[in-house]
Amino acid sequence: MAAPEKLDLPPPFEDAMRSLEREIMRFILRLTRDREDSLDLFQETWLRAYRAYPSLRSKSGLRPWVFSIAGNLCRNRARDRRRRERVIANDGRDPEFEAARFLHADHGSHDGVISLRRALAALPGKQGRALIMRKFGGMEYAEIAVALECSPESARASVYQALKKLKASQ
Amino acid sequence: MNPSKVTKSSDATAEADDRAVDTMVRRARAGIRRAMKVLRRPEARVGIIASPIGRLMVAEGPRGIAAIHFLWTGAADEALARLRRRFDLLDNETWRENFNRELDRYFRGDIAVLDRPVDLSLVESEFKRRALMRLREVPSGSVTTYQALAADCGAPDAQRAIGTTMATNPIPLFVPCHRVIRSDGTIGNYGGGVKNKLILLRNEGFEVGSSLKLPASAVMGHRRTLIYCRPDCGAARRSNPARALIFADARHARAAGLRACKLCKPG
C-alpha cells in the first residue's frame, strides 16, 4: 500500500497572519504615513485576505498575495483621499495645507526621514510600491511582480526608475 | 560627525520603529479577532488516506465527515477548492492516523464504522440531500435500486436524478452509494469504479460473481412489514417498492430485524 502523502495546503490563516503581520504593517505605514489609516488598512487587509483565503492555491504564493491586497487597499485609500481633497479644495480650503498635514502626520521628525518620505510620496504609485517592497520588504522581483500584477522585468524596471528618481531628488 | 554615533542613533530609531509597529499590530489584532468571529468558517481536518479501494482524500468537519474523494479519478484540486470555500482546512496527522485505523476496521468486517455522522453541507440541492439521507437508512448487507430509492424520496420516476445524485455523492462509503444497484439485479456503475463497488459489496456480505449480478442467495426484504421473501414470491412482488430492500442472504435480513415469509419460506 502506498504511503499517504501530504496535501499542499496553505498554512492555517492565523499562522499566515502571525508570520507576515509586522512586515505588512511596516509596508502599509510606509505607503500611508498615517497611523490611524494604517491600523484601519491593516485590519481590512487581513479580513479581505481571510475572505479570499480559499482562492490561494499554495503556500508559496502567500507573501506576494497578501502584499498585493495591502498595496491595492492603500492605493484605493490614497485615490479616495485625493478625490476628497479635491472636493475640499473646491470648498475653499487650502490643499497645500492638507497635503502637508498628511505628510507630517506620522511619527518621527528627523529631516532625512521626512525628506525621504516626501521623495517616496512623489514617486508614481507603482514605482513607490515596488521600491518599498524591494528595499523595505526584502521581496524578490518575482514576488513583487505577483503583488503588482506585472512581469518581473517590469517590477525590476519600476524599482530602478524609483531609485533613479530618488537619487535625482536628493 | 562620528560614524559610530550615527550607527547607534539609527539602531535606536529602528528599535523604536519596531516597538511602534509591534504596538500597532497588537492594537489591530484585537479588532481583527472581533470581526473574524462573524466571518469564520468551520474548521475541518483533511488528509490523504491509503485504502484497499485506492487513495482517498477525506475531510471531517465539526458535524461529521464532509467529503471523501477518490484521488485516482482526478479533479482533486477542484474537490479541495470546494472544501476550502466551506471550511478552514487543517492537515492533522493524528486525526489522519485514527481515521486510517477506523477504515482498516471497516475493511476487516466492522461495518458499524460507517455509522459515523456525516455533514452534507456541500450538497446544494434539497432533493439530493433527501436522497442521500434516505440512502443512509439502507443497512449494511443490503442494497436498494435506483428506482426504489427514487420512490422512497417521493419521486417514483426520478431514477435518473437518483443516478446523478449517486454520481455526485460527496461522501461515498459513509453515504453508501455502493448499496444502490440496477432494478435488473446487476450492480451498475460507481463513481469510484465498478471494481471498488465490488470490493465494498463483497466486504458487506454480497458474493457478487464475475457476471456482476446479485447472488442467488439474495432475498427481498420489506422495511414496513419487516418480512423477507424469496425474489419470486408473489407477496414480495406486490409490496411497495419504496420500502423494499435486497439482502445478501437470509442471515443478513434476520440481522436487520426481519422475519421469514410464511408463504415462500426463504429459510
pLDDT > 80? residue A4: no
Between helices A62-90 and A141-148, what is the axis angle to 10°?
A: 50
- The predicted structure's pLDDT at residue A22: 92
Closest residue by Cα to residue B175 from B38, B34, B259, B65: B65
In a shared domain, residues B253 and B135 = yes
Which sign does the torsion angle of CA A99, A32, A35, B5 carry?
negative
Are the beta carbons of A21 and B91 separated by less than 8 Å?
A: no
Average pLDDT of chain B, as a whole number? 88
The tally of domains found in chain B comes to 2
At B225, the amino acid letter reads T
Asked whether residue B150 is domain-assigned, the answer is: yes
What is the average pLDDT across A125-134?
86
pLDDT band at B10 (very low <50, low <70, confident <90, very high): low
- The predicted structure's pLDDT at residue A111: 60
Kindly list the structural domains of chain A, giving each domain's residue range(s) and its CATH number in brackets, ordered by start: 20-51+60-169 (1.10.10.10)
Would you call B29 an interface residue with chain A, using a CB distance cutoff of 8 Å?
yes
Would you call B25 an interface residue with chain A, using a CB distance cutoff of 8 Å?
yes
Would you call A52 an interface residue with chain B, using a CB distance cutoff of 8 Å?
no
Average pLDDT of chain A, as a whole number? 80
* Closest Cβ opposite residue B91 in set A9, A43, A47: A9
Asked whether residue B11 is domain-assigned, the answer is: no
Are the beta carbons of A1 and B24 separated by less than 8 Å?
A: no
- Indicate if B177 belongs to the active site: yes
Please state which of the ranges A140-149, B55-64, B111-120 shows the lowest mean pLDDT. A140-149
- The predicted structure's pLDDT at residue B69: 94
In a shared domain, residues B144 and B97 = no
What is the percent of chain A where pLDDT is above 70?
Answer: 79
What is the average pLDDT across A137-155?
86
In a shared domain, residues B158 and B61 = no
What is the percent of chain B where pLDDT is above 90?
Answer: 55
- The predicted structure's pLDDT at residue B146: 94
Closest residue by Cα to residue B221 from B192, B259, B189: B259
**What is the domain-level CATH number for residue B64?**
3.30.160
Are the beta carbons of A22 and B29 separated by less than 8 Å?
A: no
- The predicted structure's pLDDT at residue B56: 93
Burial profile A4-42: b = 16 or more Cβ within 10 angstroms, e = fewer: beeeebbeebeebbeebbebbbbbbbbbbbbbebbbbbb
In a shared domain, residues B99 and B164 = no
* A121 against B170, higher pLDDT: B170
Please state which of the ranges A54-68, A129-143, B148-162 shows the lowest mean pLDDT. A129-143
Asked whether residue B93 is domain-assigned, the answer is: yes
pLDDT > 60? residue B15: yes
Per CB-CB distance under 8 Å, the chain B contacts of A42 are: 24-25, 28
In a shared domain, residues B85 and B169 = no
pLDDT band at B73 (very low <50, low <70, confident <90, very high): confident
Would you call B88 an interface residue with chain A, using a CB distance cutoff of 8 Å?
yes
* Closest Cβ opposite residue B39 in set A42, A47, A107: A47
Domain boundary residue, one of B115, B136, B158: B115
What is the tens place of the pLDDT at every residue in B174-205?
999 999 999 888 888 998 899 999 999 999 88
Between helices A141-148 and A152-169, what is the axis angle to 10°?
A: 100
In a shared domain, residues B100 and B137 = no
In a shared domain, residues B161 and B87 = no
Per CB-CB distance under 8 Å, the chain A contacts of B84 are: 53-54
Asked whether residue B48 is domain-assigned, the answer is: yes
pLDDT band at B75 (very low <50, low <70, confident <90, very high): confident
Supply B183's cell numbers. 432494478
pLDDT > 50? residue A100: no
In a shared domain, residues B111 and B234 = no
In a shared domain, residues B181 and B133 = yes
Mutation target to probe the B interface, by most B beta carbons within 10 A, among A5, A37, A106 is: A5
Supply B218's cell numbers. 439474495
Separation between Cα atoms, residue A103 and residue A114, nearest integer Å: 8
CA distance B76 to chain A (A): 10
In a shared domain, residues B137 and B256 = yes
pLDDT band at A107 (very low <50, low <70, confident <90, very high): very low
- The predicted structure's pLDDT at residue B105: 93
CA distance B108 to chain A (A): 16
State which residues form the domain around B246.
Answer: 126-260
**What is the domain-level CATH number for residue B152?**
1.10.10.10
Domain boundary residue, one of B69, B95, B115: B115
In a shared domain, residues B132 and B256 = yes
pLDDT > 50? residue A103: no
Report the 10 Å Cβ neighbour count for B164.
Answer: 14
- The predicted structure's pLDDT at residue A58: 76
pLDDT > 90? residue A33: no
Are the beta carbons of B35 and A4 separated by less than 8 Å?
A: no
Closest residue by Cα to residue A14 from A73, A69, A62, A74: A62
Are the beta carbons of B25 and A4 separated by less than 8 Å?
A: no
Are the beta carbons of A9 and B46 separated by less than 8 Å?
A: yes
- The predicted structure's pLDDT at residue A97: 46
For every residue of chain A, DSSP letters joined together read -PPP----PPPPHHHHHHHHHHHHHHHHHHHH--HHHHHHHHHHHHHHHHHHGGG---GGGHHHHHHHHHHHHHHHHHHHHHHHHHHHHHTT--HHHHHHHHHH-SS---HHHHHHHHHHHHS-HHHHHHHIIIIIS---HHHHHHHHTS-HHHHHHHHHHHHHHHHHH-
Closest residue by Cα to residue A9 from A44, A40, A54: A54
pLDDT > 90? residue B217: no
- The predicted structure's pLDDT at residue B229: 92
- The predicted structure's pLDDT at residue B161: 95
Asked whether residue B31 is domain-assigned, the answer is: no
Asked whether residue B184 is domain-assigned, the answer is: yes
- The predicted structure's pLDDT at residue A95: 40
Separation between Cα atoms, residue A109 and residue A118, nearest integer Å: 12
CA distance B79 to chain A (A): 12
Domain boundary residue, one of B68, B87, B115: B115
Q: ipTM of this predicted complex? A: 0.74
Asked whether residue B71 is domain-assigned, the answer is: yes
Instruction: Report the residue of chain B nearest A52, measured CA to CA.
Output: B85
Asked whether residue B135 is domain-assigned, the answer is: yes
Closest residue by Cα to residue A31 from A148, A166, A136, A157: A136
Mutation target to probe the B interface, by most B beta carbons within 10 A, among A26, A27, A109 is: A26
Report the 10 Å Cβ neighbour count for B90.
Answer: 15
pLDDT band at A101 (very low <50, low <70, confident <90, very high): very low
pLDDT > 50? residue A99: no
In a shared domain, residues B147 and B255 = yes
Q: Alpha helices, DSSP H only, in chain B?
A: 3-39, 76-86, 93-107, 126-135, 146-152, 159-167, 194-203, 234-238, 250-255
